Amino acid sequence: MPAKKAAPARKITAVKEKFTKTQILNEIADNTGLSRKEVTAVLDELSIVIERHIKKRSIGEFTLPGLLKIKTVKKPAQKARKNVPNPFRPGETMDVAAKPASTKVKVLPLKKLKDMAL
């Protein structure tokens, strides 16, 4: 069997303006040799996989290896409080309304993504 050639190192250039969704799809399609329709299908499926990981009654965590981790954080309900010191007007007190329990989504960058920003 002939040895596989390593992919040539690509020169990565900085982007000066934010890409639209269409520009992102076209860029990926041009650089991978896939059709735009195939790239769209892959991104749509990735969206569905992420949703399945973080929706209610699921594991609550999704990792895109090397790039990012998406996880859900459950915030417990908070009771109403009265006569709390007002942080904006020292010496005055205020009432704080009750807040229901909620679920927040956190996106955490991983090492490879952090290194890209250097």
Q: Looking at the structure, do residues 71 and 100 belong to the same domain, yes or no?
A: yes
Query: How confident is the model at residue 4, as a pLDDT?
Result: 55
pLDDT tens digit string along 2-55?
555 555 677 888 999 999 999 999 999 999 999 999 999 999 999 999 999 999
Q: Would you say 72 and 80 are in contact if contact means Cβ atoms under 8 Å apart?
A: no
Confidence bin at 105 (pLDDT 50/70/90): very high
pLDDT at 59 over 60: yes
Spatial CB neighbours of 58, under 8 Å, sequence gap ≥ 6: 52
Establish if 92 belongs to a structural domain: yes
Q: Report the alpha-carbon distance of residue 10 to residue 1 in Å, rounded.
A: 26
Query: How confident is the model at residue 103, as a pLDDT?
Result: 95
pLDDT at 88 over 70: yes
Q: State how far Cα 72 lies from the chain centre.
A: 11
Q: State how far Cα 71 lies from the chain centre.
A: 9
Q: Looking at the structure, do residues 40 and 88 belong to the same domain, yes or no?
A: no
Per-residue tokens: 96: 């704080």
Range of the domain at 87: 60-118
